[in-house]
């Protein structure tokens, strides 16, 4: 929760209109920009990440933020800090992974490399807003539908398996190691939705995204658990519903758009009120913002 | 020298035309972008940096890169990784320092904050190329003059004083803690020079910049030591000439421009050949690229 306090302090100190979405939308330049970091032993461990997978993921998490804005990912810079134990092959494989995740869509154009005690990766991604309608978490409106792209729950279960030294089932574990940003979905929404709309990635969990959109837009998000796409394999694991709802790093996209558009998988609707109404196991459970934060905190603590 | 090997590997892996200057110039978007990191106990120590000074310097080193491109600094994102020992006041003072260095010219619009063992700061800065002619290290031409903005040697001597626990003379020590990016000089050159030209900041030392321009342009840089501006106080310290030439982090700018322009302090000329001809103490000394790299390596080792 300390990071939340820090963000409040930063917002107060900077007093900037730009901070709040996955990306900052710089209208005068026709771009969006985002920056996200991965720290060794905080966000990943070399016990189960290969350098190639680490490069892939570092790029993918930033591509996901650009996709969430509705912009077109174009360029990336990468700062890498490496301990003495890291060799030339690590650097080569890491950058090969970054480049593969960028998949000829986005080009790596700079950054720097320095020494450190642990591996520290910070990536900045830039998207073009040309011919795109840019999202804001503030734009969800009563009556809009909530649609989703990407399966949920796999990354969280994959991480738990990896931490136990297991690397199967491959499709679950790979979802954690090499997530795929929903660039095509971001493009469809950004190019075709003409009204103001909300979009956000599920990097910190699906419920976190639903709660953030509800809070920022002053509405309630109502979703039906049974409609949330997930890999059938996740149902074999304990507390899999929690992983689908509160597990992070699946890097799906949630869009809140007018009813008339048929993009993504519909999972619910925007109602008046606040927080989230979740239909699950034949009941409707209400989650306030604080409730969601507690659940996420305890989910990751446990 | 390990970082130089890594950069060669990265260039080979990415095969990108953008990597080589302080900033990547993204012509289609009309922007330049740069990213630079500061790592605790590698680039700074909290023994002598206050949080405010650290924020200032983190912003200034990136503003300097944008200024070196000739573009107009516009926006910045900041990734901050902080150990548990850091409190709310650190975050507040750090961002106040960043904001002060940006001086209403450049706005901080995003980034992220995470946990870590040591403080890790990575800043990405974006500049607009509108009405600006963008520099390249490859653009130095025979007959062009070499001009400089900013005093040299103070930061290196300031660092040595700080490392010995001394904080005076203030004007020397402050040059290390709170360097000022040469934004006005970058603007004058970027707006007024019409021909292709070279510009680079002296973050890794004046001789490093002269050597990089010579190498990238396939020319020789000839400079007169006596013309290099420095604070008179530095002359009181041992090996001060070495600090002026090889000491880093003064964040001056070196521009290589046609003879007709009267901007900055002229310190020399571009000749055919390679490396650097340095007029010092009545002699002309020639430095090859390898010679400069050795000198910088030994200067910082000593």
Angle between the N-to-C axes of helices B154-163 and B170-177, in degrees from 0 to 180, rounded to the nearest 10: 100
The answer to whether residue B49 is domain-embedded is yes
The answer to whether residue B9 is domain-embedded is no
B120 in Cβ contact with B24 (< 8 Å):
no
Q: Is the pLDDT of residue A302 over 80?
A: no
Q: Are strands B120-128 and B72-82 parallel, antiparallel or unpaired?
A: antiparallel
Exposure string of B51-79, with b = 16+ CB inside 10 Å and e = fewer, is: bbbbbbbbbbbbbbbbbbbbbbbbbbbbb
Interface test mutation site (partner A, options B122, B130, B201, max chain A beta carbons within 10 A): B122
Tell whether A85 and A60 lie within a shared domain: yes
Which tokens go with A97?
Answer: 């992974």
Report CB contact under 8 Å: B31, A36: no
Chain B: residue whose CA lies nearest to A124: B124
> How far is the C-alpha of A126 from the C-alpha of A145, rounded, in Å?
28
Tell whether B204 and B251 lie within a shared domain: yes
Of A19, A81, A91, the CB nearest to B9: A91
The pLDDT of A83-108, averaged and rounded, is: 95
Of A3, A26, A99, the CB nearest to B14: A99
The pLDDT of B102-108, averaged and rounded, is: 94
pTM: 0.95
Tell whether B86 and B153 lie within a shared domain: no
The answer to whether residue B12 is domain-embedded is no
The answer to whether residue B107 is domain-embedded is yes
Sign of CA dihedral A167, A171, A175, A177: positive
A232 in Cβ contact with A238 (< 8 Å):
no
**For B217-255, what is each residue's pLDDT tens digit?**
999 999 999 999 999 999 999 999 999 999 999 999 999
Chain B: residue whose CA lies nearest to A77: B35
B148 in Cβ contact with B265 (< 8 Å):
yes
Report CB contact under 8 Å: B126, A75: no
Tell whether A154 and A121 lie within a shared domain: no
Chain A: residue whose CA lies nearest to B75: A26
The answer to whether residue B14 is domain-embedded is no
B15 in Cβ contact with A107 (< 8 Å):
no
Q: Of B71, B98, B128, which residue sits at a domain end?
A: B128
- Residue whose tokens read 């600090």: B243
Tell whether A24 and A119 lie within a shared domain: yes
Look at residue B301 in the predicted model and tell me its pLDDT. 62
Tell whether B198 and B119 lie within a shared domain: no
**For B138-180, what is each residue's pLDDT tens digit?**
999 999 999 999 999 999 999 999 999 999 999 999 999 999 9
Query: What's the pLDDT band for A300 if we cut at 50, 70, 90?
Result: low
Angle between the N-to-C axes of helices A170-177 and A154-163, in degrees from 0 to 180, rounded to the nearest 10: 100
Look at residue B46 in the predicted model and tell me its pLDDT. 96
Report CB contact under 8 Å: A77, B24: yes
Report CB contact under 8 Å: B77, A19: no
Sign of CA dihedral A242, A122, A55, B19: positive
| B301 vs A247, more confident | A247
Structural domain span for residue A56: 2-128
CATH code for position A277 = 3.90.650.10
Query: What's the pLDDT band for B16 if we cut at 50, 70, 90?
Result: confident
Tell whether B95 and B155 lie within a shared domain: no
Tell me which chain B residues have a C-beta less than 8 angstroms from the C-beta of A30: 29-30
Tell me which chain B residues have a C-beta less than 8 angstroms from the C-beta of A18: 107, 109-110
Report CB contact under 8 Å: B117, A122: no
B254 in Cβ contact with B204 (< 8 Å):
no
The pLDDT of A73-93, averaged and rounded, is: 95
CATH code for position A25 = 3.30.1330.10
Q: Is the pLDDT of residue B112 over 60?
A: yes
Tell whether B281 and B153 lie within a shared domain: yes
CA distance to A184, B100, B249, per residue, from B170 (Å): 55, 19, 16
Interface test mutation site (partner B, options A5, A6, A32, A45, max chain B beta carbons within 10 A): A6
The C-alpha of B107 sits at a distance from chain A's nearest C-alpha, in angstroms, of 8
Q: Is the pLDDT of residue B15 over 90?
A: no
Look at residue A296 in the predicted model and tell me its pLDDT. 83
Most confident option among A82-86, B83-87, B179-183: B179-183
Look at residue B26 in the predicted model and tell me its pLDDT. 97
The pLDDT of B113-137, averaged and rounded, is: 96
Look at residue B21 in the predicted model and tell me its pLDDT. 84
> How far is the C-alpha of B176 from the C-alpha of B53, rounded, in Å?
10
**For A138-162, what is each residue's pLDDT tens digit?**
999 999 999 999 999 999 999 999 9
The C-alpha of A285 sits at a distance from chain B's nearest C-alpha, in angstroms, of 31
The answer to whether residue B50 is domain-embedded is yes
Tell whether A182 and A289 lie within a shared domain: yes
Report CB contact under 8 Å: A39, B115: yes
Tell whether B168 and B288 lie within a shared domain: yes
**For A229-265, what is each residue's pLDDT tens digit?**
999 999 999 999 999 999 999 999 999 999 999 999 9
Q: Of A82, A105, A128, which residue sits at a domain end?
A: A128
Report CB contact under 8 Å: A126, B34: no
A71 in Cβ contact with A31 (< 8 Å):
yes
Query: What's the pLDDT band for A21 if we cut at 50, 70, 90?
Result: confident
Chain B: residue whose CA lies nearest to A17: B109
Q: What is the mean pLDDT of chain B?
A: 95
Question: CB-based contacts of A191: which residues, under 8 Å, 6+ apart?
Answer: A131, A132, A133
Of A14, A81, A92, the CB nearest to B99: A14
> How far is the C-alpha of B209 from the C-alpha of B199, rounded, in Å?
9
Q: Is the pLDDT of residue B19 over 90?
A: no
Tell whether A108 and A143 lie within a shared domain: no
Report CB contact under 8 Å: A35, B78: yes
Q: Of B109, B128, B147, which residue sits at a domain end?
A: B128
The pLDDT of A193-209, averaged and rounded, is: 97
Q: Is the pLDDT of residue A102 over 70?
A: yes
The C-alpha of B118 sits at a distance from chain A's nearest C-alpha, in angstroms, of 8
* ipTM of this complex prediction, to 2 decimal places: 0.94
The answer to whether residue B1 is domain-embedded is no
* Domain count for chain B: 2
Look at residue A1 in the predicted model and tell me its pLDDT. 55
Tell whether A262 and A221 lie within a shared domain: yes
Q: How does DSSP assign A99-167, residue by residue?
A: HHHHTTTSEEEEEEEEE-SS-EEEEEEEEE-TT-PPP-GGG--TT-EEEEES--SHHHHHHHHHHTT--
């Amino acid at each position: 929760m300390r990071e939340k306090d820090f963000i409040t302090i930063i917002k107060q100190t900077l007093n900037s209109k730009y901070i709040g979405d996955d990306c900052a939308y710089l209208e005068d330049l026709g771009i969006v920009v985002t920056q996200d970091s991965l720290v060794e032993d905080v966000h990943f461990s070399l016990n189960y990440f290969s350098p190639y997978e680490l490069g892939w993921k570092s790029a993918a998490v930033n591509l996901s933020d650009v996709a969430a804005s509705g912009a077109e990912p174009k360029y990336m810079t990468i700062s890498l800090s490496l301990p003495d134990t890291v060799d030339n092959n690590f650097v080569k494989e890491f950058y090969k992974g970054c480049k593969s995740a960028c998949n000829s869509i986005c080009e790596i154009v700079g950054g720097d490399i320095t020494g450190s005690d642990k591996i520290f990766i910070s990536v900045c991604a830039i998207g073009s807003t040309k011919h795109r309608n840019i999202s804001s978490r503030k734009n969800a409106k009563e009556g809009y539908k909530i649609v989703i792209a990407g399966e949920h729950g796999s990354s969280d279960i994959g991480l738990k398996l990896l931490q136990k030294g297991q690397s199967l089932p491959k499709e679950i574990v790979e979802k954690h190691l090499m997530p795929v940003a929903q660039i095509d979905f971001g493009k469809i929404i950004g190019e075709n939705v003409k009204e103001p709309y909300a979009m956000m990635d599920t990097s910190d969990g699906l419920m976190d995204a639903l709660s953030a959109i509800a809070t920022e837009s002053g509405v309630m998000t109502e979703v039906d658990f049974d409609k949330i796409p997930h890999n059938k394999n996740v149902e074999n694991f304990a507390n899999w519903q929690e992983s689908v709802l509160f597990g992070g790093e699946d890097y799906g996209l949630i869009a809140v758009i007018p009813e008339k558009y048929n993009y993504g998988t519909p999972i619910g609707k925007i109602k008046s009120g606040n927080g989230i109404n979740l239909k699950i196991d034949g009941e409707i459970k209400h989650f306030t913002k604080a409730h969601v934060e507690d659940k996420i905190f305890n989910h990751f603590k446990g």
